[in-house]
Every structure is written in C-alpha cells, then in structure tokens.
Amino acid sequence: MSDVRIDDLPVRAELRGKSPYGAPQLDVPVRLNTNENPYPLPEPLVERIAERVREAARNLNRYPDRDAVELRTQLAKYLTDTSGHEVGLANVWAANGSNEVIQQLLQTFGGPGRTAIGFEPSYSMHGLISRGTGTGWISGPRGDDFTIDVEVAAKAIAEHRPDVVFITTPNNPTGNAVPRETVLALYEAAQAAKPSMVVVDEAYIEFSHGDSLLPLLEGRPNLVVSRTMSKAFGAAGLRLGYLAAHPAVVDAVQLVRLPYHLSAVTQATALAALEHTDVLLKYVEQLKSERDRLVAELRAAGYEVVESDANFVQFGRFEDSHTAWQKILDRGVLVRDNGIPGWLRVSAGTPDENDAFLDAVRELKKEQSA
C-alpha cells in the first residue's frame, strides 16, 4: 500500500512530478513566513462574529444565499469608501479566498488549450492554479531589480498571446508595487494580442504607499482586480477573497462557481469583520510603520532590501539563502525561503516579533563577516 505514490496513480499528465503549495507550518516562537497579520481579531469583533454566526446557525438547514448579496454589497461599499471609485454589487464577486476567485477566473477564461502568463518571481499560486485548471503557464520576465520592464513584458504578451495575464501589485514575494502606467501598457498589449483578461492581484494593496488600481476598471471590461480579507483584515482563517470587475465578468464566473460555494457561516463572519473595518485598518497603519522600520533596520545592518509596499520585506543577498534561512530558524524565527537565489522574505509581525527577527539577522551578519 505505502509504496504507491502519486505518479503511480492515473493522475493527469500535467500534475506528474509536481509538488503541492507547502509553506512550512513549524512550531517556533516567531513565525514571520506567510504574510499573515500578527494581530488576533479584536475582542468586540470576536463577539460580533459569534453573534452573527449564531443567527446564521438558526438557518443552517437551508442553503446559504447563493449570490451572497448582502456580503457583496458591503464589500462594494468598502471598495468605494477606500478607493473613491464607485463600485456596486454588480461589480463584485466573492469566494473562499482569492485563490478560489483566481481558480474561477481561470476556469472561465483559461482551461485546456489556453494559456496564462505571470511575471516571475511572483505569487506561485497563479502558476499552480493554472496547472490545476489545465491552463498552460507562461513564466514572464522581471528585471534583476524585480521590476517589470514594460517593453520586455509587452513583447512576451505579443509573442505568447496568453488568454489571462496576471499582474501582482504589490508583488509577492518581492514587495514592490507595479506602476499604474505599466499595468495600463500591459492591458493595451494584452488587448492587441488576443484580447485577453488582465487580473490585477491586489492582495496587499491596503499596505501600499500608493493607490488601488480600481479606478482603471472604468471602460476596461477585460480588467479584474482581485482582493482578499486574508492579509489586511487579519482574517486568513476566514477564507474570503473577492474581485471587482465589469458586471459581465461577475456573470461569467457564475458559469463555473459551485452552487452555494460560500457557506452561510463564512458570509456571516465576513459581514461581521466588515462592520469593524475602521479598527482593522488601524492595525494596517501599525504594520505599515513596522514594515518601514524593518526596511530601514535591515539596510542599517548591511542587507539589501527591495522597496516594499506590502506587509513583508524581501532581503538579501545571501550566498546560500537556504543556509541563512536555517540559521535564522535556529534563532527561533521562521522566515520564508521562496527559492529565489540570494533572497529571503520576512513578514511584518508585532514590534516584539520584529525585534527578535532583527536581532537574529544582525547576529547572522556578524557571523558572516567574522
């Protein structure tokens, strides 16, 4: 029995020899490896969630609102309030994490015989979900400084004519934002080549120094902005992601969504969180200043750092980043090795967690120069 492996099963050809997404979940004192918000939800919000879930529980004999109308209305209001760009119920779709949003987009606009492109290094799930939906994956280029060169990227789009283009801004794992002009130029390139859907993944936008690209949706029906409550809202455990786009895109993804995909408990919990947006966004301000402190202190300690608009920082350079990762772990701090040679990524934690991390990397520097 135990000698049967995945590849011994009749799995689809494109899944053979592949590894699942697997950030280590290790039990160490300081975990700064998955870009979670380090602050637990405030107690009044916990109470409100309990209340709303209790209400929802009374109706669990029924299927949930299939169209999640109340939730999408509140998400639209949050987007309008924070971006100044008018977003309505018809523009918003929600699912179990933005990973499911991305999966639904790929099931709708990708699939067998079609391709998607991302500019790497970037969020690895874009490629993995592409594979899972039978969509061919094209790894597009980024410069040595991790920015997207418009001309090189537009050329890749013209050459490959992908059906879906992913642009992650702020980018994960590098932290840098993609300029608005670059996104506009790539949208034009994608329309000229195919036309194709352009998905702007704004999972970290609340932490950015700059503005959301939501206003670009005006007059661009092939543009999608995806968002999540996993990072800024401190609710990674909730599993709630959403998108904003032209109403036709929202209609299209309903062709592939499973009926009643968003449980009544999830909808109730997300609605409670949205009632407490103000408090949650205050934590975001705190994390932004901690992020800026990490950037400054890492530089002061002699590290190279990529400019960050997210709640994490990519730092280097290491001759052997995996050994450096292990040495930081030996000091009780878990950071992320994304397999980018020479670099590691640290998520902004609480001030105490960040102090522990900074102590560890300062010691590491001393050890290296000794």
The residue ranges that bind ligand PLP (CB under 6 A) are 35, 97-99, 123, 168, 172, 201, 203, 228, 230-231, 236, 241
- Pairing state between β 223-228 and 197-201: parallel
**Cβ-count burial 52-69 (b if 16+ within 10 Å, e if not):** bbeebeeeeeeebeeebe
Q: Shortest approach of ligand PLP to residue 201 CB, angstroms?
A: 5
Q: What is the dihedral of CA 115, 119, 123, 125, to 10 degrees?
A: 10
Contacts 24+ apart (CB under 8 A), 52-59: 52/268, 52/269, 52/271, 52/272, 53/265, 53/268, 53/269, 53/272, 55/268, 56/264, 56/265, 56/267, 56/268, 57/265, 59/264
Residue with nearest beta carbon to ligand PLP: 97
Half-sphere exposure of 235 (CA within 13 A, CB side): 27
Nearer to ligand PLP, 35 or 308 (CB): 35
Distance of CA 236 to the CA centre of its chain: 11
**What is the C-alpha separation between 283 and 118, in angstroms, rounded?**
31
Q: How far is the CB of 234 from ligand PLP (least distance, A)?
A: 12
Burial degree of 211 (CB within 10 A; 0-12, 13-18, 19+): middle
Least Cβ distance, residue 82 to ligand PLP (angstroms)? 17
Which residues on neighbouring strands pair with residue 199, listed in sequence order?
166, 224
Q: Is the CB of 125 or the CB of 364 nearer to ligand PLP?
A: 125
Nearer to ligand PLP, 261 or 365 (CB): 261
Q: How far is the CB of 102 from ligand PLP (least distance, A)?
A: 7
Q: How far is the CB of 350 from ligand PLP (least distance, A)?
A: 19
Nearer to ligand PLP, 150 or 236 (CB): 236
Residue whose CB is less far from ligand PLP, 97 or 140? 97
* Residue among 238 and 329 whose Cβ is closer to ligand PLP: 238
CB of 123 to ligand PLP, least distance (A): 4
